[in-house]
């Protein structure tokens, strides 16, 4: 790993090279390439005005994904094809069908958010998903608009029925491949052994997966990342494997890739995850990265706790497994040692008789930090609860299990009396606070009501009933 390999990628079909690995994709597009259709609205991945489509080849098939260019770093686009709003134009600058429809429905007013919407709509049209109101809302949740009230944009999306996938050409990358990037400040090892070696040699380097958190520095503060190791090119970290008892998700697997698997295995988890960040964020962000940054408000911790997930850590000395409960050791602190890398997250499957439910309460439906998040799993044998795991986010300084409440549920049937006892025990387990998002009293009341709803509604899809 000595020779310099610059980042190579396609921009609107043209080949490009750069060594500026921790420059944001948005700065590259706007400042270097002077393609100003892509906008900077917040520089934090919140508004979607900078949305572009990144294409990569997975199992020989092109996969088009919308991402926030503001928090995507150049190192991440190596071997990929980037399409901006300008790149959608046909011969003679003819508007793309998405662009034509959006103009026709009056889906653009001030026009500043419009290119981002165009790209999210394009990715949606190319995804082959069913064109339903729910899917449209999810696909566009990461794009904010202050003028239109969104309805004409939703109408545009609904008008995209039966996408032709005409843009998914046979070889969108033109033979481009991951190039084992090695430029100052950015290393992208291709094997686990190389990754562990680099990690050991560069204890001060930051590990980058989706950069949805790390990207804020280069974006909002224009503060470059001095030394980064990109973990996403290591095959082992991109695997999803299933056994009869568990699913193992590589640390570099994005939320978007994990979602269909988790949706299938754990009722309500898919709905819950679709409200985590936005599609742009889920297309980049990873569970491994979320664990690594150890954000206290991360929405993944409650379901990992309830499912009793196990984290595999690896270093040159070998690998070891840490229970999720032992992984978080304090505010933004984890069990990771300086030369450790998170390799996989192992989630036990539910067994017959298990009850499971995730819920999230927020003021705004999508892309909002939870006031309270709760995930519950009960194991029931012969009509009696033999194991209970009740995990909450937003109810204490760190995501936390309510163990006294769990004890109230174990040993008897899962019924109203048991739930009443468990709800009564919650104040001993949890210590919510008043803050700008909510009050302690409300959080405690909701924590109990989520548990009651678990009893009444069972593992029904969470949240969807509140949709218009």
Look at the block and give the residue holding tokens 């995209």: 160
**Of the residues 6, 33, 56, 86, which one makes contact with other proteins according to CB under 8 A:** 86
Q: Which stretch binds other proteins (CB under 8 A): 25-33, 311-319, 330-338, 345-353?
A: 25-33
130 touches other proteins (CB under 8 A):
no
**Which residues have a Cβ under 8 Å from the Cβ of 12 and sit 6 or more positions away?**
35, 82, 83, 84, 86, 87
**Of the residues 8, 26, 46, 79, which one makes contact with other proteins according to CB under 8 A:** 46
CB of 140 to other proteins, least distance (A): 5
Question: What are the structure tokens assigned to 418, written together?
Answer: 């048991």
Positions 214 through 233 that interact with other proteins (CB under 8 A): 220-223
Contact call for residues 67 and 283 (beta carbons, < 8 A): yes
6 touches other proteins (CB under 8 A):
no
CB of 113 to other proteins, least distance (A): 5
At how many degrees (to 10) do helices 114-127 and 151-158 cross?
30
Distance between CA 349 and CA 344 in Å, rounded? 15
Distance between CA 51 and CA 25 in Å, rounded? 10
Helix (H, G, I), strand (E, B) or coil at 92: helix
**Of the residues 15, 17, 147, 320, which one makes contact with other proteins according to CB under 8 A:** 147
Q: Which residue's CB is nearer to other proteins, number 145 or number 195?
A: 145
Contact call for residues 11 and 29 (beta carbons, < 8 A): yes
442 touches other proteins (CB under 8 A):
yes
Distance between CA 381 and CA 376 in Å, rounded? 16
* CA 80 to the chain's CA centroid: 19
**Of the residues 180, 366, 387, 420, which one makes contact with other proteins according to CB under 8 A:** 366
Helix (H, G, I), strand (E, B) or coil at 346: strand
Distance between CA 239 and CA 235 in Å, rounded? 7
Q: Which residue's CB is nearer to other proteins, number 150 or number 261?
A: 150
Helix (H, G, I), strand (E, B) or coil at 328: strand
Question: What are the structure tokens assigned to 356, written together?
Answer: 């499971």
* CA 304 to the chain's CA centroid: 14
439 touches other proteins (CB under 8 A):
yes
Q: Which stretch binds other proteins (CB under 8 A): 4-12, 228-236, 425-433, 443-451?
A: 443-451
**Of the residues 19, 57, 95, 200, which one makes contact with other proteins according to CB under 8 A:** 95
433 touches other proteins (CB under 8 A):
no
What are the Cα distances from residue 78, in Å, to 3, 5, 17, 59? 16, 10, 9, 17
**Of the residues 214, 361, 390, 419, which one makes contact with other proteins according to CB under 8 A:** 361
Q: Which residue's CB is nearer to other proteins, number 12 or number 55?
A: 12
**Of the residues 56, 137, 261, 349, which one makes contact with other proteins according to CB under 8 A:** 137
**Of the residues 370, 422, 438, 459, which one makes contact with other proteins according to CB under 8 A:** 438
Q: Which of 351, 405, 417, 404 is CA-nearest to residue 381?
A: 351
283 touches other proteins (CB under 8 A):
no
**Of the residues 79, 115, 302, 394, which one makes contact with other proteins according to CB under 8 A:** 115
Q: Which residue's CB is nearer to other proteins, number 108 or number 344?
A: 108
Positions 444 through 463 that interact with other proteins (CB under 8 A): 445-446, 449-450, 452-453
16 touches other proteins (CB under 8 A):
no
Q: Which residue's CB is nearer to other proteins, number 47 or number 309?
A: 47
Question: What are the structure tokens assigned to 432, written together?
Answer: 């919510």
Q: How many residues sit close enough to other proteins to count as binding (CB under 8 A)?
A: 82
**Of the residues 8, 39, 357, 389, which one makes contact with other proteins according to CB under 8 A:** 39
**Of the residues 22, 83, 99, 238, which one makes contact with other proteins according to CB under 8 A:** 99
14 touches other proteins (CB under 8 A):
no
241, exposed or middle or buried, with CB in 10 Å at 0-12, 13-18, 19+?
A: exposed
Positions 371 through 430 that interact with other proteins (CB under 8 A): 371
* CA 21 to the chain's CA centroid: 22
150 touches other proteins (CB under 8 A):
yes
**Of the residues 19, 131, 154, 240, which one makes contact with other proteins according to CB under 8 A:** 154
Positions 325 through 344 that interact with other proteins (CB under 8 A): none
**CB count, 10 Å around CB of 358?**
30
Q: Which stretch binds other proteins (CB under 8 A): 173-181, 190-198, 259-267, 437-445?
A: 437-445
Distance between CA 51 and CA 39 in Å, rounded? 8
**Of the residues 21, 40, 303, 339, which one makes contact with other proteins according to CB under 8 A:** 40
**Of the residues 42, 335, 350, 410, which one makes contact with other proteins according to CB under 8 A:** 42
**Quick one: which H or E segment has residue 270?**
helix 269-274
Distance between CA 303 and CA 265 in Å, rounded? 13
**Of the residues 7, 10, 21, 27, which one makes contact with other proteins according to CB under 8 A:** 27
Distance between CA 379 and CA 352 in Å, rounded? 9
CB of 403 to other proteins, least distance (A): 23
């Amino acid at each position: 790993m000595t020779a310099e390999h610059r980042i190579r990628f396609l921009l609107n079909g043209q080949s490009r090279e750069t060594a500026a690995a921790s420059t944001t994709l948005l700065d590259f597009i706007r400042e270097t390439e002077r393609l100003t259709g892509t906008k900077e609205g917040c520089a934090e991945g919140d508004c979607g005005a900078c949305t572009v489509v990144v294409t990569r080849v997975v199992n020989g098939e092109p996969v088009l994904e919308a991402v926030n260019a503001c928090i995507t770093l150049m190192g991440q686009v190596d071997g990929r094809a980037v399409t901006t709003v300008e790149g959608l134009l046909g011969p003679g600058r003819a508007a793309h069908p998405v662009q034509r429809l959006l103009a026709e429905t009056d889906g653009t007013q001030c026009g500043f958010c419009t290119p981002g919407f165009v790209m999210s709509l394009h990715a949606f049209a190319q995804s082959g998903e069913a064109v339903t109101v729910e899917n449209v809302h999810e696909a566009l949740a990461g794009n904010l608009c202050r003028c239109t009230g969104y309805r004409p944009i939703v109408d545009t999306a609904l008008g995209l029925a039966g996408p032709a996938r005409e843009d998914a050409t046979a070889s969108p990358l033109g033979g481009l491949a991951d190039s084992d990037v090695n430029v100052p400040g950015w290393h992208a090892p291709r094997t686990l052994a190389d990754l562990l070696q680099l990690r050991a040699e560069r204890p001060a380097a930051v590990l980058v997966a989706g950069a949805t958190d790390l990207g804020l520095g280069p974006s909002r503060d224009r503060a470059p990342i001095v030394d980064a190791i990109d973990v996403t090119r290591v095959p082992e970290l991109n695997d999803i494997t299933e056994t009869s008892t568990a699913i193992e998700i590589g640390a570099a697997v994005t939320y978007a890739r994990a979602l269909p698997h988790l949706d299938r295995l754990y009722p309500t988890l898919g709905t819950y995850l679709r409200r985590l960040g936005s599609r742009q964020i889920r297309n980049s962000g990873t569970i491994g990265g979320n664990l690594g940054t150890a954000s206290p408000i991360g929405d993944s911790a409650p379901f990992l706790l309830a499912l009793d997930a196990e984290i595999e850590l690896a270093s040159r000395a070998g690998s070891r497994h840490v229970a999720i409960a032992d992984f978080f050791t304090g505010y933004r602190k984890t069990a990771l040692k300086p030369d450790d890398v998170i390799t996989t997250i192992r989630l036990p499957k539910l067994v017959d008789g298990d009850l499971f439910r995730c819920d999230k309460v927020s003021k705004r439906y999508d892309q909002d930090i939870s006031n309270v998040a709760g995930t519950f799993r009960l194991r029931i044998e012969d009509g009696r609860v033999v194991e209970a795991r009740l995990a909450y986010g937003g109810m204490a300084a760190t995501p936390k299990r309510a163990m006294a409440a769990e004890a109230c549920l174990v040993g008897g049937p899962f019924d109203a009396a048991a739930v009443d006892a468990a709800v009564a025990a919650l104040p001993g387990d949890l210590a919510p606070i008043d803050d700008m998002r909510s009050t302690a009293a409300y959080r405690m009341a909701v924590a109990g009501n989520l548990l009651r709803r678990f009893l009444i509604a069972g593992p029904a899809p969470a949240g969807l009933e509140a949709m218009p």
